[in-house]
Amino acid sequence: MDMKLRDKVVVVTGGAGDIGAETSLEFLREGCKVAVCSRSQKSLDKFREKVSAEGFSVLTGVVNVRSQENLDQFAKKTADTYGGIDIWVNCHGIEGYSPLLECTEEFWDEVLDINLSGTWRGIKAAVPYMEKRGGGSIVNVSSFCSIVPTAKNGVYSISKAAVDSLTKVMAAELAPKNIRVNAVLPGFIATQMTADKVETIKDMLIQPISMRRLGNPGDIARGIVFLAGDGGRYIDGHALVISGGKFIVQNPQDPWNNYQGGY
């Protein structure tokens, strides 16, 4: 399928992390012009090395998504460099491991401000440039935790549930501007951030997954590219679950075990 993405201008926030980096590379492989921002210059430098090794170049910038001014400046820098913005991917985020009753108000505010408000700010930064192009596509990276919350990771789960709602409302409000807004909901993805859990509790992690394997960043990146491109041209306000079939039934391991699970 021709995704009709060649020469499209893409911004990826949190683009130096595992999922963001793979997403940025997928867009580059499709012939896009890509701008990536991150909180960490060190992460951006490492990402640029990876991009260069594949023969691509990319625009980068250190951005704090808690600042509308930072995001607006990076959007302007991207548009000034590449001529506009067609696609914006909100891929930034932090997790928040704390039982809710033990969570400090400061930590609650930080997680919600980055994951939810940062996504809202990113959309606001992108829209003026998309309007000038006659439309565009926004993809928010949410989480499977938004539909099945995780105990002790409650603030994160709540923030991502709010991102799903934000996605639907913005999809409706931006439709008259020919701007689509969708979300992807990754299941458990094997990344550097989750490496310790993969090493210690992998068997437990795959129990609810019908495909009996963990996801990788490329699995999510391809979903994002699909939604952003021509394949998703009539998809709006959708939350695409990319989880390998997590919790699609109560006993996903039974078919693998010749239905000997007993339930």
Which amino acids are annotated catalytic? 156
Q: Are 85 and 129 in contact (CB under 8 A)?
A: yes
Q: Are 261 and 227 in contact (CB under 8 A)?
A: no
Whose CA is closest to 8, among 29, 20, 18? 29
Cα 141 to the center of its chain, rounded Å: 3
Question: Which residue bears the tokens 């210690």?
Answer: 200
Q: Are 127 and 85 in contact (CB under 8 A)?
A: no
Whole-angstrom distance, CA of residue 143 vs CA of residue 11: 20
Whole-angstrom distance, CA of residue 56 vs CA of residue 260: 51
